[in-house]
Amino acid sequence: MVPSILFEVMLVFLLGIGSQWVAWRYRMPAIVLMSITGLLIGPVLGLMDPEEDFGELYNPIISVAVAVILFEGSLNLNYKEIRGLGRPVFRISTIGAFLSWILGSVTAHYIAGLSWAAAFVIGGLFIVTGPTVIMPLLRQSKLKPRPAKILKWEGIIVDPIGALLAVFAFEIISYLTSVNPDGSALLTFFAASVFAAMLGWACGKGIGWMFESGYIPEFLKSPAVFTVVIGCFTIADEVIHETGLLAVTAMGMTLANMGISSLADMRHFKENVSMLLISAIFIMLTASLKVDTLLQVFDPGIMGYVLLMMFAVRPLSIFLSTIGTDLSLNEKLFVGWIAPRGIVALTVSGYFASILSDAGYVDASLITTITFALVFTTVVAHGFSIGWLAKKLHLSLEGKPGTLIIGSNNFTVNLAKSLQKVKAPVMIVDSSWERLRKARVAGVPFFHGEMLSEQTEYQLDTNPYEYLIAGTEYNSYNALICTTFMPEFGRTNVFKVSPYRNNFEGDIVGKVAGRILFNKKLSLEYLNSKLEHHYVFRQTSITNQYSYKQYLNDKDEDTVLMYIMKPSGRMRFYTEEMRVTAEPGDKIVSLTPPVKEMKKIRKRLENQRNNGRTNGENAQATTSE
């Protein structure tokens, strides 16, 4: 029975998201798993061939998906983000891209055996990295801000430039090899590129103005943006193929730098859509490859070309283009190695293979094979090496996952000090210098600023922090903080503390956003009062001899369980909504009564045990009598 198109669409999305989940669960590169999954269901097992099954719809679906993905990536390109990095980013995106084009083209001609025409087309195409491959790797690797920003900006900016360079190379070749050279085609290409950039800018300005003026209601904003993105891409692409990518990039960058207040809400939605599209498109592209293409990959010339692109062309172009910049040697080595190719290279290569073949270039059929060889090799090599190399070059955020605490008061400062003792990164954020005095005196890292302000977004690096606790004296503000940062930190890593006892009872604020830390009865007011009565934070190690069950039996009823520190450095905060257990090797941090009080408690427990034994002996004696 031949599966229907609907079944194939379902299977593509299921396998794509499934690959993403497995990659997250076992900390593996998602791109690698998606590529392998696509190869298995396509050319290896022959379960589907999306290109053949979808027919004429295949290319438009891929093109629109790539446009949306590139637009979503460009929405993150705010100029404020690269303060101090503008020079290296500009150099890499211009001089570095040009050097990579020339060196890659020469390598393709002499090593892979391509004609000069095909070599210069594929050389232009292979300068791209792109958000489809860079973004998942950045999420996985936990890089420091500088190298992460450089790779992100390069990937998004160079993506449309690479496609345009390939088109430009083809137009130049057509002009030079023509019997009657006509420069009008070249002029048309440059005019179309300028038109695409201006169209993207105009669409971005127009939709931004309509948002700010209130001409589009909230429920229509995301659909309106999607419609304009597809329209912008299609109009530019109809003029000259591949200029649509430039148009949507220009549109995204324009919107990103307009300071539109509602853009952040849409960005989270578009990130989810982009994740879904990346998962599906990678499966579709790799499943559409032919067995002959896979076998050609092992040709010595093609393998030699791929290795030279990775180990010579890329590092050399980065080192030469960044001469005179403030990039360190380690940063140059890292950026010079990480350059995975992705969806744009795979999609555009098929188009150029077709037009070069129609133009009479017999080696055009090798373009698809070489593209797949470079994409798959770089995705696997860079996917598995990015974390290891970042640690070796001291460019990763090493150490335990940190905690960001919003609000400075007696309890949050003491909680931060307990986190410092277990060597976990911690930062207290507050907009009041007076409230921050407690953190300053205690020697706890702090940041003075409003957490929700745009300025803080660019000044405070949140990458080292995996958990967020909203612990201010304002219930609604805590809920707003959790709602705002839940997409970034994840629902299970965002917590809030009730300012006053029973503050969440019957309150809608208590039902939204983050999880309630500890429980509803343990309010900030209650916790601060315990500290005033000299309660202290204590660590208790769970071992094979002293189990978690024993600890729970021994602890005083007034002890407040705070969190569990795992040997891996990860933490589990106590909440009503999550069941938390400790295993041997874990440390439990709790808020306990002072020493004198503890002695009384222990004595009381001992008396209870002794009374229990006495009562048991009396019961036995009575029974035997």
Q: Are 367 and 503 part of one and the same domain?
A: no
Nearest to 164 by CA among 69, 242, 64: 242
Q: Among 75-79, 103-107, 572-576, which is the least confidently predicted range?
A: 75-79
Nearest to 130 by CA among 421, 381, 346, 445: 346
pLDDT at 202 over 90: yes
The vertex-374 CA angle with 372 and 380, nearest 5°, equals 95
Helix spans in 449-534 (H): 454-459, 475-489, 524-532
Q: How far is CA 288 from CA 32, 38, 296, 337, in A?
A: 16, 8, 16, 29
Contact between 66 and 347 (Cβ < 8 Å): yes
Q: Are 438 and 354 part of one and the same domain?
A: no
Q: What is the pLDDT averaged over residues 198-212? A: 91
Q: What is the pLDDT averaged over residues 370-392? A: 88
Q: What is the pLDDT averaged over residues 256-278? A: 73
Q: What is the pLDDT averaged over residues 32-49? A: 87
pLDDT at 438 over 50: yes
Average pLDDT taken over every residue of the chain: 82
Q: Among 143-152, 293-302, 347-356, 410-419, which is the least confidently predicted range?
A: 347-356
Token representation of residue 316: 């050399």
Which of 393, 427, 456 represents a domain boundary (last residue)? 393
Tell me what pLDDT residue 617 has: 45
Q: Are 433 and 468 part of one and the same domain?
A: yes
Q: Among 27-31, 233-237, 406-410, 567-571, which is the least confidently predicted range?
A: 27-31
pLDDT at 607 over 80: no
Range of the domain at 471: 402-536+567-579
pLDDT at 616 over 50: no
Q: Are 371 and 459 part of one and the same domain?
A: no
Task: Using the Cα atoms of residue 160, residue 163, residue 167 and residue 169 in order, give the sign of their dihedral.
Answer: positive
Q: Are 406 and 389 part of one and the same domain?
A: no
Tell me what pLDDT residue 480 has: 87
Tell me what pLDDT residue 179 has: 65
Tell me what pLDDT residue 303 has: 92
Q: Residue 96 maps to which CATH number?
A: 1.20.1530.20
Token representation of residue 24: 């997250």
* Model confidence pTM above 0.85: no
Which of 393, 421, 437 represents a domain boundary (last residue)? 393
Q: What is the pLDDT averaged over residues 571-591? A: 85
Q: Tell me: the pLDDT tens digits for 458-482?
A: 677 777 788 999 988 888 888 888 8
Q: In this structure, is residue 99 part of a structural domain?
A: yes
Tell me what pLDDT residue 595 has: 66
Nearest to 587 by CA among 568, 564, 569: 564
Going by pLDDT thresholds of 50, 70 and 90, the confidence category of residue 199 is very high
Tell me what pLDDT residue 256 has: 83
Residue 4 sits at φ, ψ, to 5 deg, of: -75, 165
Q: What is the pLDDT averaged over residues 192-199? A: 92
Q: In this structure, is residue 419 part of a structural domain?
A: yes
